[in-house]
């Protein structure tokens, strides 16, 4: 079964990502959604179903526990609205669910909104409290998100001989791209020196190897291709979308895990490539938004997505292949690193970026004549990944 | 014969130099006398975890099914109401019909438990006694120099000449109502009477009465004893006792008092363990404790002790003493001992925990019980009904994880709360069980403790140690951390 060329994204919107103290959860949902409506040229009354992605409602005063929060924000009472949660892959999984409902013929016009309010709680306190107060009482106690990828980084260094300087180049690239993106959280370029001298979070990852804590919302209008074409919309097509629950929450208790990448990404990508007819990702994918929650993660993603062989992802960043002016631009938006990571919104923001780039509306950060773009969202402890391919 | 069939010990890794205490409190007058170091329990240790270490060391080559009981002794038990012996017995894989009891409230609690174990042995039972203390003195009090932390365990039972390490031939009890050092239920710190008065009318009075009493009971003269192993509150007591009593065969090795300190209820047992590490077959040991009286025992070392020492590398008291990490300063001691109010540490948080959840997971968490899939051999840990590798359902055999392994990866975390940040996390590939040809010994993610930041390395050997993780919901949540391998280890 393939979804190829049956579903269209006709509009996308997003708030500025950052410390959005003056907007509450509902405000952000409204701003992103109405920008998407305007971009799509649709009226709210035309939306037939919606999917909401919010991963940590308790950081945001318990809004986003249910799809009903979206009805509340947008006045969409009476519509079928589901909340989708799959760790950091929630946003793209919400998109995926909308796509399948459209392909099934249930709805012509749907809405996908990712919203995350993280800055209403002091960020260090909330992150520390999350780890200290949640999770199993003793098993794996103390494992933070940076720890997960730091454990992989140390093993990756051991296997390949690279060091922190290579990771820093990922941060430099993405902060540069972010400086070209008016909606990114952080818009100032950084140097390798700055990354290396920043204080440590989870060795070998410094503050600048980590994506920030951010508020934000992104929204998409997703329709059937037939409806989009019948209404003369400026559309991009979904070529393939895969999701894989690839690992247990207890990944670090699995003796077969080799720390060098995540099966969830490989499995989701395989399914997406199959649907889209992609046999040589490095050649056929023109640009990608990948889940760079940490600098090391971007390098592992290159390998898991088939852009580079196992153990050689670091060569792409060192050679500048994945810069905006390179052969395969990765994270032209600035990625999680520079845009920030409002967790439930990130997957939707990636689709926003693909749609914007494919329709030539990316301004200073425009990739040259892209035909096909890939978005990758990874969640949990390599627990789940979603890969979506959009094209013209 | 009835006697000690095996023994074990444990001394925490952390040390505080006495010179550092002198610097912190400007105690120039003590500079000549207070030298060496004292042991300090790490922030994740308590008397229960230390006693568990000693018990596991003691029982390393004993089938737990043959152990009928476990007695825990301490003046610093973690709970005033909740048994520590039952938890340690669970960790040691004793069965549900084990006799478990806690002994407390006196420096004599360790030998009090030993006496009860001896009586049980006469009744045909085999009992392990494990004692531990981490006695807390008010910061700035000169007794801070003297106190230490440590544990020791003795397995008592009946056996033949070749499996009893030393026979317990005689015992003597002397009870004495006296106020020497004490701590009431609500007191955080020890209180001390007049030291000269306590020494003369408490300590010397009791130990001399006990030594004379047991020799008389056994119709032996002092020179028929190879070594008198007598509890000493501090280093000067050895020489004072020798002078007062005219005895010249007292055990006076300052190793423990100089490097570890006084370990409370476990101290007599720890001294005995140190002596047994060196004793020769035929040696007669007169062993004396003190605290609200004295317990005395007459021991005779058999060939079995020498044979044991020759056959295998095993932990010794000297090995624990030598395997140490000196705290950088007095402030670190305050932090790991929870003597200073601060925002550091997990104690300020309220970690999620659940009594029913931990009860369900008792075997998995406290006994390191995994399952081995009968179809594909995968070690399943944490336990799951469906094999993650081959999807076989409910088709696995219980198997116990080893407590040794190597580091597969690590990180040093600067965010997670700890009294002495940063914290190190390690992924450990556990050694394979000796008996099965299988897919290895399982893997565990856990903090690395008793280490320096930056010490962890891929491939480094580590061992698992029971530690207190936090006090979520107001009770102690224990599980296993890793630590760099310490001292000498058993080959078996």
| Domain carrying residue A34 | 7-121+212-391
Nearest-Cα distance to chain B for A346, in Å, is 24
Q: Is the pLDDT of residue B142 over 60?
A: yes
Q: Do A128 and B423 touch (CB under 8 A)?
A: no
Q: Do A151 and B444 touch (CB under 8 A)?
A: no
Catalytic residue among A210, A341, A376, A386: A341
Output the pTM of the full model: 0.95
Distance CA B417, CA B426 (A): 17
Q: What secondary structure, in 3-state letters, does B349-387 show?
A: CCCCCCHHHHHHCHHHHHCCEEEEECCCCCEECCCCCEC
Mean pLDDT (whole number) for B439-455:
91
Mutate to test the interface with B, among A127, A134, A139 (most CBs of B within 10 A): A139
- Write down the pLDDT at residue B434: 65
Q: How many domains does chain A have?
A: 1
Q: Do B443 and A253 touch (CB under 8 A)?
A: yes
- Write down the pLDDT at residue B347: 61
Distance CA B351, CA B473 (A): 7
Q: Do A255 and B440 touch (CB under 8 A)?
A: yes
In-domain check, residue A74: yes
Assess contact for A3 and A275: CB atoms under 8 A.
yes
Report the Cα A24 to chain-centroid distance in Å.
22
Nearest-Cα distance to chain B for A337, in Å, is 19
Q: Is the pLDDT of residue B341 over 80?
A: no
- Write down the pLDDT at residue A362: 98
- Write down the pLDDT at residue B492: 39
Q: Do A132 and B447 touch (CB under 8 A)?
A: no
Catalytic residue among A88, A152, A210, A339: A88
Question: A88 an active-site residue?
Answer: yes
Q: Do B479 and A139 touch (CB under 8 A)?
A: yes
Residue B302 CA neighbour count, 13 Å, CB half: 19
Mutate to test the interface with A, among B444, B445, B464 (most CBs of A within 10 A): B445
In-domain check, residue A132: no
In the sheet with B396-400, reading across from the earlier edge strand, the strands are B379-380, B369-373, B396-400
In-domain check, residue A228: yes
Q: What is the DSSP string of B35-63?
A: -SEEE---TT--HHHHHHHHHHHHTTTS-
- Nearest chain B residue (CA) to A143: B425
Q: Which CATH number characterizes residue A68's domain?
A: 3.40.47.10
Mean pLDDT (whole number) for B278-296:
97
- Write down the pLDDT at residue B238: 87
Chain B contact set for A138 (CB, 8 A): 358, 365, 469, 477-479
Assess contact for B372 and B396: CB atoms under 8 A.
yes
Mutate to test the interface with A, among B91, B415, B442, B475 (most CBs of A within 10 A): B415
CATH 3.40.47.10: which residues of chain B? Answer: 2-336
- Nearest chain A residue (CA) to B350: A133
Tell me what percent of the residues of chain B surpass a pLDDT of 90.
87
Nearest-Cα distance to chain B for A349, in Å, is 28
- Write down the pLDDT at residue B188: 93
pLDDT in tens, B84-120: 999 999 999 999 999 999 999 999 999 999 999 999 9
Name the one residue in this structure whose structure tokens are 């992605």.
A53
pLDDT in tens, B158-216: 999 888 999 999 999 999 999 999 999 999 999 999 999 999 999 999 999 999 999 99
Residue B422 CA neighbour count, 13 Å, CB half: 19
- Write down the pLDDT at residue B344: 64
In-domain check, residue A195: no
Nearest-Cα distance to chain B for A40, in Å, is 43
Mutate to test the interface with A, among B368, B377, B401, B409 (most CBs of A within 10 A): B409
Q: Do B442 and A137 touch (CB under 8 A)?
A: no
Helix axes A145-160, A295-304, angle to 10 degrees: 60
B458 touches chain A (CB under 8 A): yes
pLDDT in tens, B381-411: 999 999 999 999 999 999 999 999 999 999 9
In-domain check, residue A202: no
Q: Is the pLDDT of residue B362 over 90?
A: yes
> pLDDT confidence of B350, banded at 50, 70, 90?
confident
In-domain check, residue A299: yes
Mean pLDDT (whole number) for B59-87:
97
Q: Do A151 and B440 touch (CB under 8 A)?
A: no
- Nearest chain B residue (CA) to A132: B351
Q: A156 to each of A73, A150, A159, A310, B408, how far by Cα in Å?
A: 44, 9, 5, 11, 11
B49 touches chain A (CB under 8 A): no
In-domain check, residue A39: yes
Nearest-Cα distance to chain B for A250, in Å, is 8
CATH 2.40.50.840: which residues of chain B? Answer: 346-484
Report phi then psi at B161, rounded to 5: -55, -35
Chain A contact set for B346 (CB, 8 A): 132
The superfamily (CATH) of domain B2-336 is: Thiolase/Chalcone synthase (3.40.47.10)
Pairs of residues, one from chain A and one from chain B, whose beta carbons lie less than 8 Å apart: 126
Q: Do B410 and A144 touch (CB under 8 A)?
A: no
Write out chain A's pLDDT in tens, 392 residues.
789 999 999 999 999 999 999 999 999 999 999 999 999 999 999 999 999 999 998 777 788 999 999 999 999 999 999 999 999 999 999 999 999 999 999 999 999 999 999 999 886 667 777 788 889 999 999 899 999 999 999 999 999 999 999 999 999 999 999 999 999 999 999 999 999 999 999 999 999 999 999 999 999 999 999 999 999 999 999 999 999 998 988 999 999 999 999 999 999 999 999 999 999 999 999 999 999 999 999 999 999 999 999 999 999 999 999 999 999 999 999 999 999 999 999 999 999 999 999 999 999 999 999 999 999 999 999 999 999 999 99
B365 touches chain A (CB under 8 A): yes
Helix axes A90-103, A343-358, angle to 10 degrees: 60
- Write down the pLDDT at residue B490: 44
Q: Is the pLDDT of residue B34 over 80?
A: yes
Distance CA A86, CA A66 (A): 14
B358 touches chain A (CB under 8 A): yes
Q: Do A137 and B351 touch (CB under 8 A)?
A: yes
What is chain B's mean pLDDT, rounded?
94
Nearest-Cα distance to chain B for A376, in Å, is 25
Closest by Cα among B431, B315, B279, B289 to B58: B315
- Write down the pLDDT at residue B327: 96
Q: Do B388 and A137 touch (CB under 8 A)?
A: no
Report the Cα A112 to chain-centroid distance in Å.
14
Give the CA dihedral A245, A251, A253, A257, nearest 10 degrees: 100
Distance CA A284, CA B397 (A): 49
- Write down the pLDDT at residue B56: 97
Chain A contact set for B388 (CB, 8 A): 248, 254
Nearest-Cα distance to chain A for B443, in Å, is 5
In-domain check, residue A163: no
> Tell me, what's the ipTM?
0.95
Asked: is B346-484 a CATH 2.40.50.840 domain? The reply is: yes
Chain A contact set for B416 (CB, 8 A): 128, 131-132, 142, 144, 147
Q: Do B472 and A137 touch (CB under 8 A)?
A: yes
Can you read off the two tokens belonging to residue A252?
């670090």
Chain B contact set for A202 (CB, 8 A): 411-415
Report phi then psi at B335, rounded to 5: -70, -45
- Write down the pLDDT at residue B345: 62
- Write down the pLDDT at residue B152: 98
Q: Do A128 and B470 touch (CB under 8 A)?
A: no
């Amino acid at each position: 079964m393939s979804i190829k060329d049956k579903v269209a994204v006709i509009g996308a919107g997003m708030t500025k990502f950052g410390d959005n103290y003056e907007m509450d959860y509902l405000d952000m949902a409204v701003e992103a959604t109405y920008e998407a409506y305007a971009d799509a040229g649709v009226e709210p009354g035309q939306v037939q179903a919606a999917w909401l992605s919010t991963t940590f409602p308790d950081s945001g005063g318990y809004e986003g526990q249910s799809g009903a929060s979206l009805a509340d924000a947008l006045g969409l009472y009476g519509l079928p609205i589901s909340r989708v949660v799959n760790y950091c892959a929630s946003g793209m999984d919400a998109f995926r669910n909308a796509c399948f409902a459209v392909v099934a013929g249930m709805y012509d016009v749907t809405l996908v909104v990712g919203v995350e309010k993280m800055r209403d709680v002091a960020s260090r306190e909330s992150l520390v409290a999350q780890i200290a107060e949640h999770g199993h009482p003793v098993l794996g106690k103390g494992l933070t998100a940076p720890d997960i990828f730091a454990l992989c980084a140390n093993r990756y260094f051991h296997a390949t001989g690279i060091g922190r300087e290579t990771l820093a180049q990922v941060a430099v690239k993405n902060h540069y791209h972010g400086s070209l993106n008016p909606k990114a959280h952080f818009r100032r370029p950084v140097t390798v020196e700055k990354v290396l001298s920043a204080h440590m979070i989870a060795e070998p990852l410094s503050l600048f190897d980590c994506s920030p804590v951010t508020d934000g919302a992104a929204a998409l209008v997703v329709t059937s291709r037939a409806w989009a074409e019948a209404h003369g919309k400026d559309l991009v097509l979904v070529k393939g979308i895969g999701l894989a629950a690839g690992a247990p929450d207890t990944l670090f208790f699995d003796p077969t895990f080799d720390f060098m990448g995540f099966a969830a990404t490989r499995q989701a990508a395989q399914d997406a490539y199959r649907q889209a007819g992609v046999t040589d990702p490095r050649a056929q994918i023109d640009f990608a938004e990948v889940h760079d929650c940490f600098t090391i993660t971007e390098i592992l993603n290159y390998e898991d997505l088939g852009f580079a062989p196992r153990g050689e992802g670091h060569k792409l960043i060192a050679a500048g292949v994945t810069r905006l002016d390179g052969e395969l631009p990765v994270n032209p938006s600035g990625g999680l690193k520079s845009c920030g990571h409002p967790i439930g919104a990130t997957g939707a923001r990636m689709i926003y970026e693909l749609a914007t780039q494919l329709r030539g509306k990316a301004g200073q950060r425009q990739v040259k004549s892209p035909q096909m773009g890939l978005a990758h969202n990874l969640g949990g402890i390599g627990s789940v990944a979603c890969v979506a391919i959009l094209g013209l | 014969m009835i006697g000690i069939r095996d023994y074990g010990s444990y001394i925490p890794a952390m040390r505080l130099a006495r010179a550092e205490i002198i610097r912190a409190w400007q105690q120039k007058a003590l500079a000549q006398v207070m030298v060496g170091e004292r042991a300090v329990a790490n922030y994740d240790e308590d008397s229960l975890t230390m006693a568990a270490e000693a018990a596991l060391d003691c029982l390393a080559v004993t089938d737990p099914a043959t152990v009928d009981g476990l007695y825990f002794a301490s003046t610093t038990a973690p709970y005033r109401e909740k048994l520590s012996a039952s938890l340690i017995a669970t960790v040691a894989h004793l069965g549900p019909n084990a006799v478990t009891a806690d002994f407390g409230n006196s420096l004599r609690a360790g030998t009090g438990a030993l006496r009860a174990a001896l009586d049980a042995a006469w009744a045909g039972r085999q009992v392990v006694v494990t004692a531990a203390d981490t006695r807390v003195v008010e910061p700035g009090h000169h007794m801070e120099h003297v106190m230490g932390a440590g544990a020791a365990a003795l397995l008592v039972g009946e056996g033949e000449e070749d499996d009893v390490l030393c026979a317990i031939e005689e015992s003597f009890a002397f009870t004495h109502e006296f106020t020497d050092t004490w701590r009431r239920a609500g007191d955080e710190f020890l209180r001390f009477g007049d030291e000269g008065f306590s020494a003369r009318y408490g300590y010397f009075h009791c130990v001399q009465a006990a030594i004379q009493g047991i020799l008389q009971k056994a119709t032996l003269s002092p020179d028929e004893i190879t070594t008198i192993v007598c509890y000493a509150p501090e280093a000067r007591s050895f020489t004072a006792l020798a002078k007062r009593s005219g005895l010249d065969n007292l055990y006076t090795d300052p190793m423990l008092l100089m490097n570890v300190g006084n370990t409370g209820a476990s101290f007599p047992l720890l001294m005995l363990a140190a002596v047994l590490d060196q004793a020769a077959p035929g040696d007669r040991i007169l062993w004396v404790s003190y605290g609200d009286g004295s317990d005395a025992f007459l021991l005779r070392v058999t060939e079995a002790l020498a044979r044991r020492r020759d056959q295998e590398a095993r932990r010794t008291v000297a090995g624990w003493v030598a395997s140490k990490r000196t705290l950088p300063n007095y402030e670190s001691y305050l932090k790991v001992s929870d003597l200073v109010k601060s925002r550091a540490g997990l104690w300020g948080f309220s970690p999620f925990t659940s009594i029913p959840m931990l009860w369900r997971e008792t075997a998995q968490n406290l006994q390191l019980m995994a399952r081995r899939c009968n179809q594909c051999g995968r070690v399943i840990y944490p336990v799951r009904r469906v094999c993650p590798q081959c999807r076989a359902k409910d088709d696995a055999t219980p198997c116990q994880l080893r407590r040794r392994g190597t580091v597969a990866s690590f990180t040093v975390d600067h965010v997670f709360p700890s009294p002495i940040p940063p914290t190190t996390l390690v992924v450990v590939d556990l050694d394979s069980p000796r008996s099965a040809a299988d897919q290895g010994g399982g893997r565990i993610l856990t903090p690395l403790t008793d280490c320096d930041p930056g010490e962890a390395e891929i491939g480094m050997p580590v061992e698992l140690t029971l530690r207190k993780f936090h006090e979520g919901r107001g009770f102690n949540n224990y599980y296993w951390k890793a630590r760099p391998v310490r001292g000498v280890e058993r080959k078996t």
